[in-house]
Amino acid sequence: MASAPSSSFRRRGHHALLLFMALALLSSARRSVATGVSSPRNSRKLMALYKPPASDMLRYHDGAVLSGDIPVSILWYGRFTPAQKAIVTDFLLSLSSAPQASPSPSVATWWSNIHRLYLSKPAAVRKNGGGAARSSRVVLASQVSDEGCSLGKSLKMSHLPALAAKATRRPATNGIALVLTAQDVAVEGFCSSRCGHHGSYGGSGAAAAYAWVGNPSTQCPGQCAWPFHQPVYGPQSPPLLAPNGDVGMDGAVISLASMVAGAVTNPFGDGFYQGDRGAPLEAATACAGVYGRGAYPGYAGELLVDKATGASYNANGARGRKFLLPALYDPDTGDCATLV
């Protein structure tokens, strides 16, 4: 089945990060931030970065976005523990909970920022039904398990649309099929060039969006679970404690958040993106590696710290959960908008 151009997420694969690295080495030290905020002993200020012309910025390309009720179906490919599944489902439930349901900053606020920065733009609203901008709500529709790994444990990218189709009985044109692969399942390009991926499946006139994320705990925690694991390359600051006690799944949530943001704002390759359509930078991937104010390569930014566990996070979620979520690119300012 043919699919539209799609996007992959490499945690620190953004080309601008190479420039960040050079600038960070030249920057001066500054004082640590106040108690209760995660910060290195000596952090650095960055010089102002070159901003490309408006024609090269992340912008709307007159295509589809997802809005209104967005049904999400999950295929668990391989073996996941109940606790691991709960981390993911609680994150998804947190996206559409009332903002006042969780302490600030919240996952719901992060989701509302996607609506504010992208889905509510007049051009996108006119192109996708007109009228007033509809609020977007994630609805957890169904879950399916394939513990036996019916397509094997060494997957090609071409397998992902077929797995997405197994997540739901009928593709929802306004929905997302999520494929999550277990820690012992290898996927083409996983770790070496991507931590997650999103695209579309189904024929013309019935295309639906999907996203895939793998559990990196045993294959590449340094690439796809940073900052909860020591990075493979670059500055070697101590890893942060994972807020849900699972380095792999807490890292997977970061990738999942990035891919869901991309799937909603650029589901079929003609929505919001920057650069080449076949390898775009999107709402979250344009800010890869940024989680709090003052972030630079090797430093996630100023984060909140759970006083009881010492874990670092930037968003409160359902059932008392805490998560670390990526910054979102603001197309109006060219900045990365963080929750903290």
Stated pTM of the model: 0.85
In order, the DSSP letters of 152-204 are -SEE-GGGHHHHHHHT-SS--TT-EEEEEE-TT-EETTBTTTBSEEEEEES-T
Model confidence over 7-21: pLDDT tens digits? Answer: 776 554 443 443 344
Kindly tell me if the per-residue pLDDT of 223 is higher than 70. Answer: yes
CA-CA-CA-CA torsion sign (263, 185, 150, 91): negative
Name the 3-class secondary structure at 75: strand
Burial (Cβ within 10 Å: 0-12, 13-18, ≥19) of residue 185: buried
Most confident of 24-28, 133-137, 214-218: 214-218
Kindly indicate the confidence band of residue 97, based on its pLDDT and cuts at 50, 70 and 90: confident
Would you state the pLDDT for residue 134?
Answer: 67
Q: 313: helix, coil or strand? A: strand
Domain ranges in the chain are: 12-337
87, 250 contact by CB (below 8 A): yes
Indicate the residue type of 193: S
DSSP alpha helices (H): ranges in the chain?
A: 16-26, 82-95, 107-114, 122-127, 160-166, 221-224, 247-265
Phi, psi torsion values for 2, nearest 5 degrees: -75, 145
Local structure of 35: helix, strand or coil: coil
Q: Please, what's the largest Cα pairwise distance for the chain?
A: 56
> How sure is the predictor about 246, in pLDDT bands with cuts at 50, 70 and 90?
very high
pLDDT single digits (tens) 123-179: 888 887 765 566 789 999 999 999 999 999 999 999 999 999 999 988 888 999 999
CA distance 113 to 328: 8
| pLDDT above 90 as % of the chain | 70
The pLDDT score that the predictor gives to residue 4 is 53
In the block, residue with structure tokens 């044109």: 173
Average pLDDT, the chain: 85
Secondary structure of residue 122 in the 3-state scheme: helix
* Res 244: pLDDT: 98
pLDDT, one tens digit per residue, over 230-239 is: 998 888 889 9
